[in-house]
Structures are given as structure tokens and as C-alpha cells.
Structure 1
Amino acid sequence: MLYGYARCSSADQSLDIQIDALKAAGCQIIRSEKISGTSRDGRRELETLLEFLRTDDVLVVTRIDRLARSISDLQDIIKVLKERGASLKATEQPFDTGDIYGSLTINLLGVFAEFETQLRRERQIEGIQRAKTDHPERYRGRPPKIDVAEVRRLKGQGFSVAAISKQLGIARTSVYRSLDMIR
């Protein structure tokens, strides 16, 4: 039996192209989700498929990076597939997980997926740093949630730390910090 898995990283992306390709490949059941592929954490649809697969079943994806964005996750998934007697197929990347060359190919594809993720992360950090330099007025951090003047005013009126905390809906440690009683 062929089981399809489609994934994209964000809610505004479409899974339609992947799902169409998986249907064309003959997948009877297709599970999909919109979640980051950098980790297996929280990927319920993938976990459901991995638990369900049996001997001679095939997990089909369009590309390896739809399955995993880190080589360790990819290797863990392949290990689970082998333990269950199932195999892996990608519609856009020909390989056979049953031989040594297929293992080499899939590992190389996994390394490239992980490398691409790291490159994207580096470019994002560089872009944020550049934006902070070019537009410092836009990147001042989150505005403070605690009105220090109000905390001090209430303390001056004789309110206890617990009462201030309750009235303003903040933690007592935040009250102490606002009153410079702790650092």
C-alpha cells in the first residue's frame, strides 16, 4: 500500500501541488500538515503514518525535504521504516532505500536539506541585523509590559507587594524588580 505525506512550513503555503503529485503516484491515503520540518516534534500526521505502516508499505513524499530538514531526523525516520518493513519513495528524487547507493543518495539529499535550512537561518539573522542597523527605530524590542511608575505610585500609597502584584496582574518578582529591590 502507498501512503503519501505532504508538508509545508506555514499556514499560508499550499499543499495542493504535493497532494496532486502523491495522488498521481498512486497513494491511497495521504496525510498532510503545515508545520516546520526542522524537527519531528509536533508532527502528528507523520507520527500517525509511521505508526500505521506495515511490511511492504511505502511512504511516499514529493521530495526528501518535505519529510525531514535534518539528517538525524531523516535517519531516524528511515530506521523506523526499516523496522516496520516499509520503504520510502520520493516522486521527484529517484532512489531505492533497499541498496547501498540508495542509502548514499538519501543521506546526501538529507544533508542538502539540512544545509539549506542552515543557510536560510543565517540569511534571516543577517537580514535582521541589517534591518536593525538601517532602521533602529523599528527594532527596539518589545515594549515594556510593566508600568514602573504605577508600581512605585501604589507602593507609595502603602500597598503591599502582593497587593500591587494582584492589582496590576504581574508577578511579585516584577514588582520587586520595579522597586529596585532585586536585580
Structure 2
Amino acid sequence: MRVGYARVSTAGQKLDLQRERLADCDRVFHEKVSGKSTRNRPELQNALDFVRDGDIFVVTKLDRLTRSVVDLANIVQKFEAKNVDLVVLDQGIDTTSIYGRLQFNILAAIGEFERGIIRERSYEGRMRALARGFKFGAKPKLARNEISQLINDYEAPGCSKTEIADHYGISRSSVCRIYSENCQHMS
């Protein structure tokens, strides 16, 4: 069975051209939703669940299926587990033949290579930033003098953790964490 999948990003766009190109499919799933991720795409999930052993999954362009190498790898794993082939009409990818599988694997390898380069560059950038003293994460909500005052308030009799949290505009658990972290450093 040939199972088609068509997608456009916005409600204003039309699926007509993709539907025409997928006319020879036995069943076509379609939706109007962003392709940034495969999450929150119910018709894609339905199509992936629907395909069975020996089926051919057809899309007009690879970006209609996914724009993420990670998502593509996950989809391909599902196809391999179900013995489903992939045909991408505009890119000429057809995994029903050995040449199509080769082409697809080369494209997937290039995508994985690009992802690795991006990851490596990101890591190097983070390391350079750390070496320059940059601190990642959320900015501290309290200044050093406020932390000292919070510790005094915490240790003062009659002052509840909830009152301290309200006074500094933080959660009760943050009060306990800040106290714990800073009293350990003082010891």
C-alpha cells in the first residue's frame, strides 16, 4: 500500500498541489501545522502508526515530512522496524531500490555530519565563554547583600520561610536552597 503524507505550515496555504502529486497513493494523511518538529503533528503520527510491513510512505518533499535530522532518523528507524520504504518525489529518493537506499543513507550521513559540526562548534563556543568568565543559566535573583540578609532572617527566631520567600519574591524552596548553599560555603 502507498501511504501519502502532505503538510503545509499555515491555514492560509493550500494542500492541493501535494494532494495532486500524491493521487496514486491508497491513503493520504494531511495537516496544516508547522514542520519545525514532529511533535504536535497528529496526522503524521497517525500515518506513522498506520503504515505496515511492505508499505511505501510517500511525501512530495523531505521538508514536508521533517526539517530535523534527529526527527528524520527517528522516522527512518520506525520505517525500518516496520519494513516500510520511503519515497520523496521531488528529491528522487526511493528506498524501494538499492540505489535509493544508498542515496538516502548518504543524505542522512551528511545531515548527521552537519549536526556533529554544529554540536562541536557550540561546545567550543561554550568553552570559550566559560574561559572568559561567562556564567550560563538564570541570573541570580538576589544580590550578595540580600543573600546575607536572607541568612540572618532565616536564622532569626519567629521568621517563617514563607515570609522570607514573600519578602524576597522567591519560592520557599529557593529560600532553603540559598540558605543551604551559602551556609555550606561559610563552614
Q: TM-score, normalised by structure 1?
A: 0.62
Determine the structure 2 residue equivalent to 1:106: 104
> For the structure 1 residues 26 and 57, does the alpha-carbon distance in structure 2 shift closer, same or farther, using more than 3 Å as the test?
same
Contact persistence 1:6–1:62 (CA under 8 A): no
- Pairing 1:59–2:58 present: yes
Aligned equivalents of 1:18, 1:118: Cα separation in 2:
35
What percentage of aligned pairs have identical amino acids?
Answer: 18
Q: Of residues 3, 18, 23 in structure 2, which corresponds to 1:22?
A: 18
**8 A contact 1:50–1:80 mirrored in 2:** no
Q: Quote the Cα distance in structure 1 between the aligned partners of 2:10 and 2:172.
A: 41
Match for residue 76 of structure 1? 77
Structure 1 position 154, deviation (Å): 0.7
Counterpart Cα distance in 1 of 2:14 and 2:69: 17
SS in structure 2 opposite 1:180?
Answer: helix
Moved over 6 A (4+): 13-18
| Cα distance change of structure 1 residues 78 and 99 upon mapping to structure 2, 3 Å threshold | same
Question: Cα offset for 1:152?
Answer: 1.6
CA deviations over 1:30-52 (Å, ceiling 9, x no partner): 2454444xxx7x46544322102
Q: CA deviation at 1:17?
A: 8.4
Equivalents in 1 of 2:147, 2:90: separation in Å? 58
Closer, same or farther: CA 18–158 of 1 in aligned 2, 3 Å:
farther
Alignment-derived partner of residue 114 in structure 2 = 116
User: Does 45-54 or 71-80 show the bigger shift?
Assistant: 71-80
| Runs of 5+ consecutive residues of structure 2 not aligned to the other structure | 166-170
SS at match of 1:93: coil
SS in 1 for 2:87: strand
Q: Which has the higher contact order (CA 8 A, sep 6+)?
A: 1
Instruction: Tell me how far 1:143 sits from its aligned partner.
Output: 1.3
Question: 1:143-177: per-residue Cα shift (whole Å, max 9, x none)?
Answer: 113541342231343257xx326741232233211
How many aligned positions are there? 165
Candidates 72, 89, 92, aligned match of 2:90 = 92
What is the aligned partner in structure 2 of residue 144 from structure 1?
140
CA contact (8 A) 1:22 1:30 kept: no
| Higher Cα radius of gyration | 2
CA contact (8 A) 2:18 2:60 kept: yes
- Deviation of 1:126 after TM superposition, in Å, equals 4.9
AA at the equivalent of 1:63:
L
CA shift for structure 1 position 23:
3.5
Query: CA 1:157/1:68 → structure 2, altered by over 3 Å: closer, same or farther?
Result: closer
Query: TM-score when scaled to structure 2?
Result: 0.61
Residue 176 of structure 1 corresponds to 180
Deviation at 1:19, TM superposition (A): 5.7
SS of 2:184's equivalent? coil
Partner amino acid for 2:179? V
Using a 3 Å threshold, how does the CA distance of structure 1 residues 104 and 30 change in structure 2: closer, same or farther? same
